[in-house]
Structure 1
Amino acid sequence: STFLGAAQKLGPDDIDPETIKAAAVTYMEGYLWDEPGAKEAFLKAAKIAHDAGRLVSLTLSDSFCVDRFRDEFRRLARDEVDLLFANEAEILSLYETDVFDDALQQVRKDCKFAALTRSEQGSVIVADGEVHVVDAEPVSKVVDTTGAGDLFAAGFLYGLTRGKDPVTCGRLGALAAAEVISHYGPRPQVSLADLAKQKGLA
C-alpha cells in the first residue's frame, strides 16, 4: 500500500501561485486526490496554471485510485487536464473497458495530450488527436518496476518543455523508465542526460 506521509495534508494554502505561473507544466499525482483539501489544491493550481497560459498534467497513479474516484477523474481529465499520464490498467479502469483501443478513443476525445504506457509494449501518445506508438527501450533484465511511471513522465515532460515532438517525448520517457527498472530503487543510478545524448535525443 502506498503511504503518502505528510503529502496527505496538502491543501489550497500550500499552493504557491508564483511557482505555478513560472512552471511550463504543473504535474499532479492522482494518489493525492483523497482529501477534500487536496482536491481544492488541485483545482486552485489548475486554474492558476491555465490563467497563466501554462499546462496542467495529471497521472492517474494507480488503478485502485481510479476505481475510487472514476467519475471525478473523468471530469478532471476532460475539464482541467491538458496532459494525462496513465498505464494500461489505469486507463482501462477510467473508461470501464477491457479493450485498450476503446479507452484510447475515449481519451482522444477528453484530452489534448495523453501518454499511455503499456510495459514491454511501449507507449501510445495522443497529441492533438493524432496517435503515435513508441517502442519500449530494451533492458537486459527487469529488476524493480518501482518508479517506472514517474520516470517515464519525467522524461516525457523534459522533452515536452523543450519543444520536442511527441515521439521524441515518448522515447525520452521510455529511456528514463528503462534505466530505473534495471536496478532496485526508484531513482536513476546514471545520468539520464548522458543517456539521452547517447541516443541522440537531447
Structure 2
Amino acid sequence: MLVVGDVVTDVVARHTTPLTPGTDTVARIRILPGGAGANAACWAARSRGRGDGGPEVRLLGRVGRAEADWHAGRLRAAGVRPLLIADGSAPTATVVALVDAGTGGERTFLTDSGAVLRIGPADWSPELLDGVGHLHLSGYLLFADAAARLVRLARESARDRGVTVSVDPASAGFIARRGTEPVLAALRGVDLVLPNADEARLLTGVADPVSAAEVLGRRFGLAVVTLGAEGAVVAGPGGITARVPAPRAEAVDTTGAGDAFTGAFLAAWMTGADPAEAAVEGCRAGAEAVTLTGGRPLLPDGPYEPGAPPGVVG
C-alpha cells in the first residue's frame, strides 16, 4: 500500500483546566511525529508488525530538510517505508494540538502546513505504484493547487494500473474554506471515501451522518463514515450495509483516532476482510488511539522516545 499524505511535527499540549487568556495554563506538552497520512500509514503497518499479514506500507510526503531524518527514522521504527522529499525552502508542517482533558480529550488544532502543501506533480512518478495494491490519499492534499494536481495524477496512474484508491477527506474546516464542489470534483473516480461525521455532512449537505453515508455510498460505491464513540457506518450503492459499534474507551487524547481507524480499516480490507469486518478493526484501533497521547500506535518496544526534530525545542 502506498499512502500519499502529510508528515507533521505535533506539539501536543494536554491541559486539565480551561485555557485562561492572558496568563499561564498548566499543561503536559510533548513533541511527537504526526500527520494524518503518516499516522494512518503507521496504524496500517502495525498489523504487519504483529504478524497479522498486513500490507507493506510506503509513505510519500514532503518535509523540511532539517527534520527529514528525524521523521524518516520514526516512520521506519513504526514499520513504514518512508519516501520523503526533503524541502530546502520550507520546514516540516507543525500542528499545535490543544487537548482539553476535561472534555474527554477533545482537541483544537493550530496548523502551519509548511512543506506539506508544497508537494506537487514533479514529486509523482507512476513507478511509485510498482508492487502496490492500493493507493491512499490524505485529503489535506486537496487544499492546495499543486498538491491537488498531484492527487489527480496519482489517481489516474492508479486507474491505469488497476490499483484501488481511497481518500480521507481530512478536515471539515478546510472543506468549508475550499468549497464542497471543488472537493467532490477532486474525489471523482475514487473507490472508497472515509470521512468523519462532520466531513460527511459538509460533502452531502445532509445533517444526519448516517443518511449522509448513504448519499456518499451511492456516489462513490463505498463510503465508511466514522461517528466517534458511536462507531462507524458502512454504505454502498444500495444504501447502509453495516453499523459497527465502537469499543468503550476512556479518552485521553482524540488526536489521530480517525487516522487509526483509516489505517486499520485499510490493512484489514486489503487482506480480504469485507468492509464491515474491516470497520470492526478500524473501530478497535480508534478506541485504542484515544487512550494514547498523539496520533500513532505505540512502537513495538514502547512509546516514542522523547526529543524533537532539529530546529524544534523539545
TM-score range, shorter chain: 0.7 to 0.9
Aligned to 2:182: 72
CA shift for structure 1 position 12: 0.7
The alpha-carbon distance between structure 1 residues 128 and 169, as it changes in their structure 2 partners (threshold 3 A), is farther
- Structure with the larger strand share: 2
Cα pair 1:21 1:49 within 8 Å, conserved: no
- Aligned to 2:241, the other structure's residue is in SS state strand
Say if 2:166 and 2:193, in contact at 8 Å, map to a contact too.
yes
1:82 and 1:113 in contact (8 A); partners too: yes
Instruction: Compute the TM-score of the two structures, normalised by the length of structure 1.
Output: 0.87
Counterparts of residues 1-202 of structure 1 (less than 5 Å): 1-67=110-176, 68-77=178-187, 79-127=188-236, 129=238, 131-139=241-249, 141-189=250-298
Q: Identify if the C-alpha distance between structure 1 residues 163 and 127 changes in structure 2 by more than 3 Å, giving closer, same or farther.
A: farther
Q: Which residue of 2 aligns with 1:199?
A: none
User: Any unmatched runs of 5+ in structure 2?
Assistant: 1-109, 301-314
Count, aligned residues: 189
| Counterpart-to-counterpart distance in 2, 1:3 and 1:137 | 33
Higher mean Cα deviation, 123-132 or 53-62?
Answer: 123-132
Paired with 2:134 and 2:179, the residues of 1 have a C-alpha distance of: 23
- Could you tell me which amino acid in structure 2 is paired with residue 83 of structure 1? L
Determine the C-alpha separation between the residues in 2 that align with 1:2 and 1:23: 31
Does the 8 Å CA contact 1:21/1:54 hold for their aligned counterparts? no
Q: Sort the Cα spacing of 1:127 and 1:21 in 2 relative to 1 into closer, same or farther, 3 A.
A: farther
Give TM-score scaled by structure 2 length: 0.57
Q: Which of structures 1 and 2 has the larger relative contact order (alpha carbons within 8 angstroms, sep 6+)?
A: 2
The answer to whether the Cα contact below 8 Å between 2:263 and 2:282 also exists between their aligned partners in 1 is yes
Shift of 1:3: 2.8
* SS of residue in 2 equivalent to 1:27: strand
Q: Verify the 8 A CA contact 1:123 1:134 in the aligned structure 2.
A: yes
Question: What is the identity, as a one-letter code, of the residue corresponding to 1:37?
Answer: A
Aligned-partner residue type, residue 150 of structure 1? D
On the 8 A contact 1:147/1:186 being kept in 2, the answer is: yes
Deviations along 1:2-48, one digit per CA (max 9) or x if unpaired, are 33321111101111312224322211112121222111100000000
Instruction: Tell me by how many angstroms 1:169 deviates.
Output: 0.4
- Greater Rg by CA: 2
Write 1 or 2 for the structure with the bigger share of helix: 1
Q: Is the 8 A contact 2:135 2:164 kept in 1?
A: yes
Contact kept in structure 2, 1:10 and 1:41, CA below 8 Å: yes
**Residue 188 to residue 37, structure 1, CA distance change in 2 (3 Å):** same
Cα distance change on mapping 1:113 and 1:21 into 2, 3 Å: farther
SS of residue paired to 2:150 = helix
Q: Could you say what the CA RMSD is over the residues aligned between the two structures, in angstroms?
A: 1.6
Structure 1, unpaired ranges of 5+: 192-202
Q: Does the 8 Å CA contact 1:146/1:186 hold for their aligned counterparts?
A: yes
Identity %: 29
